[in-house]
Amino acid sequence: MYAHERSLVKRLEDKPFALVGVNSDVDKDELKKAMEKEHITWRSFWDGPDGTSGPISTKWNVSGWPTTYVVDAKGVIRFKNVRGESMDKAVDQLLKEADKDGK
């Protein structure tokens, strides 16, 4: 999954696109090591060690990992749990819509 996310961030580096990660690893230091090992360069938040019961997971109704949301320029969740090519298509669609709207 991280390889695809890295390629998406690289491909869209000059576009109005942001990738945000949320993690609930038990140990914050182990999470930092994993992020370095996986070359995670995008903003990532630690949601506590309790799986999906942290404040971010609770607010976003996350019931398991990984969970993905694709949010449009207006802040509306448009896609949930898309991955790979489906995620690319979803993001490209929203970028086209935003471009049409002059965002």
60 is in which domain, residue-wise? 2-100
In terms of C-beta density within 10 A (0-12 exposed, 13-18 middle, 19 or more buried), how is residue 6 classed?
middle
- pTM recorded for the entire structure: 0.85
In terms of C-beta density within 10 A (0-12 exposed, 13-18 middle, 19 or more buried), how is residue 84 classed?
exposed
Number of domains into which the chain is organized: 1
Provide the token pair at 22: 């949320």
Strand, helix or coil at 73? coil
Give me the residues paired with residue 22 across strands: 45
Task: Tell me the average confidence (pLDDT) per consecutive run of 10 residues in the chain, 103 residues long.
Answer: 93 95 90 93 93 94 94 95 96 94 70
CATH at residue 55 = 3.40.30.10
Say what the pLDDT of residue 97 is: 94
